[in-house]
Amino acid sequence: MKTLIYGGIAAFLGIIGLIIWFKPFLNIIAGIIPIMLILGGVFALYIGYDEFKSAPEQKGCALDEDSGDKIKDCEDEITKLKEEVAVLKENKG
């Protein structure tokens, strides 16, 4: 119950303070926005650079000895699916 009362008092005093010092509040906000944009932009550049740097590693560009088997398995599965689609088209028509 104390927390509720103290929270209400703090909110009331905050509203009163905001009304009294509205112009300085806007000056502070106007000063914070460019700084936040600069920091956000630098952070986004860092994240983008990090993703760009690690992109070839994540895509799996390097072929290993099992790649030929994987490709053959995928081609076989594609062929089976194409045959199944052809059968379904014939049954529908």
Instruction: Give me the DSSP letters along the chain.
Output: -HHHHHHHHHHHHHHHHHHHTHHHHHHHHHHHHHHHHHHHHHHHHHHHHHHHHHHHHHHT-S--TTHHHHHHHHHHHHHHHHHHHHHHHHHH-
List the chain domain ranges. 1-62, 63-93
Mean of the per-residue pLDDT values of the chain: 86
Say yes or no to pLDDT of 49 above 70: yes
Banded pLDDT at 82 (limits 50, 70, 90) = very high
Say yes or no to pLDDT of 59 above 70: no
Write down the pLDDT at residue 51.
82
Write down the pLDDT at residue 69.
76
